[in-house]
Copies of this chain bind each other. A is one copy, B any other.
Amino acid sequence: MLVVQSTSVKTHAVVAPSLPSSGAPAEPPALVAGEASASGVGSPSFSPLYQQIKSLILRSLQAGEWRPGEAIPSEIELAARFKVSQGTVRKAVDELASENLLLRRQGKGTYVATHTEERVQYRFLRLTPDQPEHAGPVQREFLDCRRLRAPADIARLLQLKAGDMVVEVRRVMHFAGKPVVLDDIWLPGHLFKGLTAERLSDYKGPMYGLFETEFGVRMIRAEEKIRAVAAGEVEAALLKIAVGAPLLSVERLSHTYDDQPVELRRGLYMTEFHHYRNELN
């Protein structure tokens, strides 16, 4: 299971032989010498232990061993399971937490991240009111939800075969009662069987919460391409603005585990009283 590419592995017992008589200083973990893949020289594809642990935890997450919102086993338990030290588990969990897949809570445990939490609600929606006055409650209006064969460009981006089924959703988001965002969304049909406009309308809270709860699809990471465009007739009517008015075009490709694309979204944002915020580091 766990792979260590080096040949000699020693515990520090070698240099501290006069320890209290607690028996043998615990056998070293079940380490297997150089496997990984082909080639037999020194370290052809070195991968640290904590990375291997990270992959194992990731696999359990993906397999649904622990559900979103639930606690994963404690560091001590994981260390015992994987036969490594707590420090190594810690490093693996630290990275997963920094990637927003896990959530650490001191004194309580480590939890599987979820989109249904209030606090992380706007992790993916970067549109922010210019003034607090324009904040107000968010309202989602679903205009359409149909199943169809994926157009070529959609299929390519979602890594589907030409002709595969997709679910197409059109919706408008209202901020403080005014239409601000028009989204067209495409989802792989085989992952979202039974998704209807009604289920979308009935669900309270962000869409990704529904996807996670009802369809077991967890959005982990996304890329966005942003442009300025002029409103067409249809868009102008839906957002109640003038034809030709400048809009922010946001094309988002969302991924789940393993970087597999599972959602394509083309959004048009009215940015007269809102802006897209970003942080550069």
Binding site for B on A (CB under 8 A): 16, 18-20, 98-100, 123-124, 126, 221-230, 244-249, 252, 269, 271, 275-281
Contact = CB atoms under 8 A, between A and B. Distances in A.
A124 B278 CA distance: 11
Most B Cβ at <10 Å: residue of A244, A246, A249, A279:
A246
Per assembly, the copies of the chain total 2
Contacts of A277: 223-226
A221 B278 CA distance: 11
A214 to B, nearest CB: 22
B275 A246 contact: no
A203 to B, nearest CB: 21
A248 B275 contact: no
Nearest to A247: B228
Given A223-B277, A225-B275, A230 B246 contact: yes
A16 B19 CA distance: 8
Given A18-B18, A226-B276, A99 B281 contact: yes
A223 B278 contact: yes
27 contacts: A16-B16, A18-B19, A18-B20, A100-B281, A221-B279, A221-B280, A221-B281, A222-B279, A223-B277, A223-B278, A223-B279, A223-B280, A224-B277, A224-B278, A225-B276, A225-B277, A225-B278, A226-B248, A226-B276, A228-B228, A228-B246, A228-B247, A228-B248, A244-B244, A248-B248, A252-B280, A278-B278
A221 B280 CA distance: 6
Contact of A246 (B20, B123, B223, B247): B247
Most B Cβ at <10 Å: residue of A227, A244, A271:
A227
A76 to B, nearest CB: 19
A114 to B, nearest CB: 15
Nearest to A20: B18
B248 A227 contact: yes
A86 B109 CA distance: 28
